[in-house]
Chains A and B, each alone.
Chain A
Amino acid sequence: MARKKRKVDMPPADLPMTPMIDVVFQLLIYFLVTIHPVDVVTHLDVFRPSPEAKKDKPDTPPKMIRVTIFSDGFSINERPVDLAELDKLLVKLAGIDKTQTILIMATALSPHEKLVQVLDMCAKSGLVNLSVVSMN
């Protein structure tokens, strides 16, 4: 009678928790060690001017903003600038009109990193119409 009462008092003792917790800890440690966190990826949208637009390029009005990327620096409308200055100018331009087209010209030997930096700055300022053209 006394034995039966004990059983009713603590029913969870029937289920052995210890091996289950052991296994759960093993799994937890295994996944903590093996899973590496995924990088947060962003997608930067750009337009590629169509061949017709390319033909018109010499007639481009000078008011269009041209950012040129060289392998060793940047220039905006033929004026050499560094990254911080370019950022400042783009923020200022975005304050006037966010939908204006920014023509980004990249030279053949410039690293892709620099193009991404410029696109990132445009994304930061909220400029959306970005055209990427390549130069030789």
Chain B
Amino acid sequence: MGKRATLEDAAMNMTPMIDVVFQLIIFFITTADMENKALDTKVRMAMAPHGPVVQKKDPRTIVVDVSSKGRISIANAYMSPAVLKSILKKAVGEYGQTTPVVIRGDGKTTHQDIKAVMDACSAAGLWKVKFAALKEKA
């Protein structure tokens, strides 16, 4: 009788554990792509199959989206180049001149719109910029 009780106990204890594990799985799956939510989903980046893989992510990174129509946005907030410049200036003041800026431009954007973003970076004292591109299309 005593043996049966322990067996049943072991079986009973599985259920809350499985519940919690499922909850954790669902939590992590839903939060995993949270950072991509802040990007403009309409931007269709150009392909660069030979580019280096992004290894470490700098938490200071500022991602500037440029839509195919040349509209500038950060985290889906559209802004003029002048506002972008003041934001970048503030970022430079806070995090220094090594703040990474990633320009996520649509492949169809004309260079003059990209230039507006690069000029804002230069005006803020950022000489090094990165262009985001697709290494592999999923």
Interface positions of A (Cβ within 8 A of B): 4, 7-8, 11, 14-15, 20, 23, 27, 31, 35-51, 69, 106-113, 115-117, 119-121, 123-124, 132, 134
Contact = CB atoms under 8 A, between A and B. Distances in A.
Nearest to A44: B131
Given A42-B53, A134-B118, 16 more contacts: A8-B4, A8-B7, A23-B22, A27-B22, A40-B138, A41-B135, A44-B132, A48-B121, A48-B122, A106-B111, A107-B111, A111-B108, A112-B106, A117-B48, A123-B50, A134-B111
Size category, B interface: 35 or more
Contacts of B132: 41-44
A48 to B, nearest CB: 5
**Main DSSP-derived SS at the A contact region:** mixed
Those 8 A-B pairs whose CB atoms lie nearest each other, nearest first: A42-B51, A124-B50, A113-B107, A37-B138, A120-B48, A116-B46, A108-B112, A40-B136
Contact of B138 (A11, A36, A45): A36
A42 B112 contact: no
B94 interface: no
Interface string B90-129: 0000000000001001111111111100100110001111
B110 A112 contact: yes
Interface of B: 3-4, 7-8, 10-11, 14, 18, 22, 25-26, 29, 33, 36, 45-54, 66, 102, 105-115, 118, 121-122, 126-138
Nearest to B126: A48
B26 to A, nearest CB: 8
A51 B109 CA distance: 25
Contact of B33 (A14, A38, A109, A119): A38
Contacts of A132: 118
**Most central of A7, A8, A134 by chain B CB within 10 Å:** A134
A109 B129 contact: no
Contacts of A20: 18
A99 to B, nearest CB: 16
12 contacts: A8-B3, A14-B11, A38-B33, A39-B134, A48-B121, A111-B111, A112-B66, A112-B107, A112-B111, A113-B46, A113-B107, A120-B50
